[in-house]
Amino acid sequence: MCGIAGLLTTDGRAPSKDVLAKMSRALVHRGPDGDGIYHADGIGLVHRRLAIIDLETGAQPLQDSDGAVLVANAEIYNHIELRTKLSGVTLQTGSDCEPILPLYRLHGPEFVSRLRGMYAIALFDPANGELLLARDPFGIKPLYYAECDDGFAFASEPSVIVASGLLEGREHRASRDELLQLQFTTGRSTLFQGIQRVLPGETIVVRQGRVIARARREALPGGAPSVFEEQRALDLLDATLMDSVSVHQRADVPYGMFLSGGVDSAALLSIMAELNQEPVTAYTVGFKGGASDERDLAGALARKAGARHVPIEVGPEDFLQSLPRAVGAMDDPAADYAVLPTFLLAKAAAKDVKVVLTGEGGDELLAGYGRYRSALRPFWLGGREIRTRGVFHGLGLLRAEGDDWRDGLVAAQSLAAKGARSKLQVAQAVDCEDWLPHDLLTKVDRCLMAHGLEGRTPFLDPLVAAAVFRFDDRLKVKRGFGKYVFRQWLDRRCPEAQPFSKKRGFTVPVARWIQEHGPRLGALVAAQSGIQEACNMDQVPKLFSTEKKRAGQASWVLLFYALWHQIHMRGISPVGDVFEVLDAR
């Protein structure tokens, strides 16, 4: 797992080596194990390596005999199987990414349909002067681009494009308003003007510095739900998850997992314990002071599985000291309150391992969220459309409080509601389009890569999606439980996980931590230029001084955004505590 960047010039001249060097330096946290640069007329490619597979000969860029050159931030889990199918092709390394080059020769841009893994790929073919960028269907690995005066720039993180000097880091106001109301942003736009996302599953082709073609690989199967006997669904679920966890463990370095008290990570632990001869190392975060704490249950599960359990504790002092660095890692922002514990959990895990498996995607594919059950109910029984009200709805705090922030969600819903999908499938697909890649997976990618740690998500596998997304609704939601058939499966495999107990959720006590310093934080947040542009200033200190639940969520979002604006728009260093970073001028 790595970081990539590059520049395709509009006039065919070789890019500035200084620009490429700046990109490489800005990516060093993603690839501390090595670097490589390809520099030629019209193109420059940058690679920073976190060595996971083929530690000796797997350095990039990779190049074939006809001159095509590749840099990738990827783990191709089926690389062993791909090698056996490439008869007559001699590969020079054991890299999981090298099969991409002969696949490109055989299939052109459609080679991505053969890949099972997470990837952000850049491939330049000098024969036609075209640069191809591709991203995995779930958007596990990030990729961004900008059409600049000097050409077409791309990178694993938008801040790398800004650091190159090719484009000025200005804020995109519409995306800012969307972030404040939704806590993440949707679609192609980012908070940086002129920098866009390669969408999940998208392949784009660039020539002479401009995009000339786009195609997209869907993450989820189309069509209506299929009718499954429960036992058949249980058998399919078991075989599919065992296979996915097995291939996600392919690595030449130590690996572990993140373990909460939830059913998804309990399932991963159970399977990993069965597949591994050595004890699994499992990391759990808990919170000081009586907040939601999953360490006891996670510890019991770890003991049952014979795992090595590593609990860490996060308290108000960690909130003050470490939050700026966590926000500093989130250049594509998601104001998810799990950012801080994820950042600190990754810091602890990186001392022992280079890879962790996580449970992201289980709720989206198997319908675990309460909002899905609400979406199924008619309105007279409490059913409602998802995310109709923003964080600041009715608080009178934002200068612009229209409904424009929902445009991306409406577009995602229109895209998801194709074919004969059920209402439940549509709700799941909407989350897989934006919430999953632009909140949850962005959080995991940035918080882990900040510490040189790779995160893998076995639920977000094309074979898992093909198997479980089309389970009929009654296997997903039944007797008041989401993920019903999954809970049945886990109850048979690991009853200690208590899969039919009330969903505990993962609650970080940020509102309480903010309240402990409410007046001081409120004054500092209100003084930020970014906050002053977005908010009615007289309301901000009041927000930080009230104990109402909605005010706690809103104050967290404003604090996150104030820190983000200081660090990523104004260039303030994230080194220091919350007060020091907010007060820096």
Q: pLDDT per residue over 259-298, tens digit each?
A: 998 999 999 999 999 999 999 999 999 998 655 688 999 9
Structure tokens at 431: 């989350």
Same-domain status, 84 and 149: yes
Same-domain status, 75 and 6: yes
Q: How confident is the model at residue 572 (pLDDT cuts 50, 70, 90)?
A: very high
How many residues in total does the chain contain? 585
What one-character DSSP code corresponds to residue 439? I
Q: Is residue 222 assigned to a domain?
A: no
Q: Is residue 385 assigned to a domain?
A: yes
Same-domain status, 455 and 563: no
Residues 124 and 134: their CA atoms lie apart, in Å, by 12
Residues 317 and 323: their CA atoms lie apart, in Å, by 10
Q: Are 334 and 438 in contact (CB under 8 A)?
A: yes
> What is the pTM for the complete model shown?
0.96
- Mean pLDDT over each residue of the chain, to the nearest integer: 93
Q: Are 164 and 26 in contact (CB under 8 A)?
A: yes
Q: Average of pLDDT values for 120-130?
A: 97
Q: How confident is the model at residue 546 (pLDDT cuts 50, 70, 90)?
A: confident
Same-domain status, 392 and 261: yes
- Could you report the per-residue pLDDT of 487-512, keeping only the tens digit for each? 999 999 999 999 998 765 557 899 99
Residues 95 and 250: their CA atoms lie apart, in Å, by 12
Q: Is residue 505 assigned to a domain?
A: no
Same-domain status, 416 and 517: no
Residues 429 and 411: their CA atoms lie apart, in Å, by 12
Residues 6+ apart with CB under 8 A from 322: 340, 343, 344
Residue 384 scores a pLDDT above 70: no
Same-domain status, 432 and 563: no
Q: Average of pLDDT values for 41-58?
A: 86
Pairing of β 43-49 and β 34-40: antiparallel
CATH of the domain at 386: 3.40.50.620
* Angle, helices 407-416/423-430, rounded to nearest 10 degrees: 130
Residue 382 scores a pLDDT above 60: no
Same-domain status, 98 and 136: yes
Reported in sequence order, the residue ranges of 50-149 that DSSP labels E, i.e. its strands, are 62-63, 69-76, 117-125, 130-135, 144-148
Structure tokens at 131: 């640069």
For residues 41 and 419, which has the higher predicted lDDT (pLDDT)?
41
Q: Is residue 281 assigned to a domain?
A: yes
- Could you report the per-residue pLDDT of 163-184, keeping only the tens digit for each? 999 998 899 999 999 999 999 9
**Sign, Cα dihedral of 20, 25, 26, 29:** positive
Q: Which of 216, 247, 273 is the last residue of a domain?
A: 216
Q: Which residue has the tokens 């073919």?
A: 125
Q: Which of 216, 244, 268 is the last residue of a domain?
A: 216
- Could you report the per-residue pLDDT of 298-338, keeping only the tens digit for each? 999 999 999 999 999 999 999 999 999 999 999 999 999 99
* Confidence (pLDDT) at 1: 60
Domain span at 544: 510-583
Residue 250 scores a pLDDT above 90: yes
Q: Are 442 and 19 in contact (CB under 8 A)?
A: no
Same-domain status, 565 and 452: no
Residue 230 scores a pLDDT above 80: yes
What one-character DSSP code corresponds to residue 226? B
* Confidence (pLDDT) at 381: 46
Q: Is residue 556 assigned to a domain?
A: yes
Say whether 278 sits in a helix, a strand or coil: coil
- Could you report the per-residue pLDDT of 461-492, keeping only the tens digit for each? 999 999 999 999 999 999 889 999 999 999 99
Give 584's Cβ-side CA count (13 Å radius). 19
* Confidence (pLDDT) at 403: 80
Lowest mean pLDDT among 257-261, 367-371, 400-404, 432-436: 400-404
Same-domain status, 35 and 122: yes
Q: Which of 446, 476, 497 is the last residue of a domain?
A: 497
Residues 19 and 44: their CA atoms lie apart, in Å, by 9
Query: Number of helices (H) and strands (E), helices first, in the chain?
Result: 24, 17
Residue 393 scores a pLDDT above 80: yes
Q: Is residue 225 assigned to a domain?
A: no
Lowest mean pLDDT among 24-38, 102-116, 539-553: 539-553
Same-domain status, 47 and 115: yes
Residues 6+ apart with CB under 8 A from 481: 487, 500
Q: Is residue 295 assigned to a domain?
A: yes
Q: Is residue 504 assigned to a domain?
A: no
Reported in sequence order, the residue ranges of 221-303 that DSSP labels E, i.e. its strands, are 255-258, 281-287
Q: Are 505 and 363 in contact (CB under 8 A)?
A: no
Q: Look at the chain and report how many structural domains it folds into.
A: 3
Q: How confident is the model at residue 220 (pLDDT cuts 50, 70, 90)?
A: very high
Same-domain status, 211 and 256: no
Same-domain status, 294 and 436: yes
* Confidence (pLDDT) at 284: 97
